[in-house]
Amino acid sequence: MPEKQRILTGDTPTGRLHLGHWVGSLENRVLMQDEYDCYFILANIHALTTRAEHPEKIYQDTLDIAIDFLCTGIDPQKSCIFVQSDIPAISELTFIFSMLIPFPRLMRNPTIKDEIRDKGLGDSYPFGFLLYPIGQVADILAFRPALVPVGEDQIPHLEMTREVARRFNQLYCGVDPHSEDAKHIAEGGLFPIIEPKLGRVKRLVGTGGPNEQGQLLKMSKSLNNSILLTDDADSVQRKVMAMYTDPKRLKATDPGSIDNNPLWIFHDTFNPDKAWVTEAKARYQAGNIGDVECKKRLVEVLTAFIAPLHQKRLDLEKNMDYVKDVLRKGSEKANHTADETMRLAKGAMHQVF
Ligand code: ATP
Ligand code: MG
């Protein structure tokens, strides 16, 4: 049997997982578990970039996301779930990789600029915030995966991962600078030039209105605009009923716009009854159906998906020893792979004494 190809992806413990995670990455992870050797990282060191003063919250969120993984069908018998701070090779690789990217290149990363703006970080973010994309390169390359399932906002980070891998392979493994990406490993490179795998929705919007530039923000743990995968029924109801829709529509008989309208983005994404959605959209545009009716239908659709996950969360919360055991065993396996990468990297760099 040939070895399975690896997948690496994960989440920062800055809150519990939401619907954007599901359509952006988690759904793919669950689907790919049998075919690939999967590694899912809980990036608790990255969470320090914006919450260094709240380590206890990061600890709780790390456990909470592990629970979310288990609730949504990630099976620890098949996939390795582990905590970033348990893997020393990742920190070592971060330092080494930080030498391979020019600082101005880092500052041109659009995701970094968006995060500074949308999270209101101003100029008060720590040096480590700028280091985190390199840390993410190390998270990924430590496992030398073929594929990385992510949402669209991660594409700039993955492009940097590809650049670092090419540079390392050229500098230290003798790979020709003109080599095609797909040939790097065959030509002696240590790191594969990874491919992103986008989810069925690349960037799900949040429940709130647009920013000053008129763009709807992505659903994000840090922006208080998310519906959680394990929310209770009351929270789903409250969040959907308060959701931003067409601000120009004051009553049900006003013609409504379905463009840039989270209500319809959510129906398109989650409602399996496509015939109802098509008909209701037409009625909405003609001023023949109220926001409240459409929102109530969305509550039903989302509750059917979320309620079983919420119940699983309640069960797992009573069994935290099991959850912690999953993480300990995961970290053991992850260290095995990452240590091997580290040994090979030091060998390639002639730093074995
Ligand atoms: P934070 O606000 O702390 O940055 P986040 O909600 O952006 O949190 P991350 O942990 O940064 O979540 O992202 C984890 C994964 O989920 C990444 O692959 C990211 O691209 C994907 N993802 C996050 N939000 C969305 C979204 N709204 N739509 C699609 N994919 C998403
Ligand atoms: Mg994010």
What pLDDT is attached to residue 50? 87
Provide CATH code, domain 6-198+320-348.
3.40.50.620
Two tokens, residue 236? 């789903």
CB distance 32 to ligand 1 below 6 Å: no
Mutate to test the pocket of ligand 1, among 30, 140, 220 (most ligand atoms within 8 A of CB): 220
Mutate to test the pocket of ligand 1, among 18, 19, 25, 203 (most ligand atoms within 8 A of CB): 25
| pLDDT tens-digit series, residues 165-178 | 999 999 999 999 99
Computed over every residue of the chain, the mean pLDDT equals: 95
Q: What values do phi and psi take at 210, rounded to 5?
A: -75, 165
Alpha carbon distances (Å) from 10 to 44, 301, 339: 10, 27, 19
CA of 220 relative to ligand 2 center, distance in Å = 6
CB distance 150 to ligand 1 below 6 Å: yes
Nearest-CA residue for ligand 1 atom 25 is 20
Q: How many H-runs (helices) and E-runs (strands) does the chain carry?
A: 14, 7
CB distance 153 to ligand 1 below 6 Å: yes
Mean pLDDT, residues 18-30 taken together? 95
Distance between CA 92 and CA 283 in Å, rounded? 58
Residue 1 predicted with pLDDT over 80: no
Question: Helices in 232-290 by DSSP H: which ranges?
Answer: 233-241, 262-270, 274-286
Alpha carbon distances (Å) from 72 to 174, 206, 218, 282, 338: 43, 20, 21, 34, 26
Two tokens, residue 282? 């037409």
CB distance 62 to ligand 1 below 6 Å: no
Which pTM was predicted? 0.92
Give the number of the ligand closest to the Cα of residue 223: 1
CB distance 269 to ligand 1 below 6 Å: no
Mutate to test the pocket of ligand 1, among 8, 11, 198 (most ligand atoms within 8 A of CB): 11
CA of 62 relative to ligand 1 center, distance in Å = 15
CA of 12 relative to ligand 1 center, distance in Å = 8
CB distance 119 to ligand 1 below 6 Å: no
What pLDDT is attached to residue 2? 63
Mean pLDDT, residues 291-307 taken together? 97
| pLDDT tens-digit series, residues 101-131 | 999 988 888 888 888 888 888 888 888 988 9
55 half-sphere exposure, CB direction, 13 A CA radius: 2
Q: How far is CA 353 from the centre of its chain?
A: 38
* Mean pLDDT comparison of 45-54, 107-116, 316-325, highest-scoring range: 316-325
| pLDDT tens-digit series, residues 187-240 | 999 999 999 999 999 999 999 999 888 899 999 987 899 999 999 999 999 999
215 half-sphere exposure, CB direction, 13 A CA radius: 9
| pLDDT tens-digit series, residues 78-90 | 999 999 999 999 9
Task: List the domain boundaries for the chain.
Answer: 6-198+320-348, 206-314
pLDDT-derived band at 38 (thresholds 50, 70, 90) equals very high
Nearest-CA residue for ligand 1 atom 20 is 151
CA of 119 relative to ligand 2 center, distance in Å = 10
Residue 349 predicted with pLDDT over 80: yes
Closest CA to 24 of 186, 206, 149, 193: 149
Q: Count of residues for the chain?
A: 353
**Which residues touch 279 (CB under 8 Å, ≥6 apart)?**
none
What pLDDT is attached to residue 55? 97
Distance between CA 154 and CA 167 in Å, rounded? 20
Percentage of the residues of the chain whose pLDDT score is greater than 70: 99
Closest ligand 1 atom to residue 14 Cα is: 3
Would you put residue 174 in left (φ > 0), alpha (ψ -120 to 50) or beta? left
Q: CATH classification of 206-314, choosing from 3.40.50.300, 3.40.50.1700, 3.30.1700.10, 1.10.240.10? A: 1.10.240.10
CB distance 337 to ligand 1 below 6 Å: no
The answer to whether the beta carbons of residues 191 and 168 sit under 8 Å apart is yes
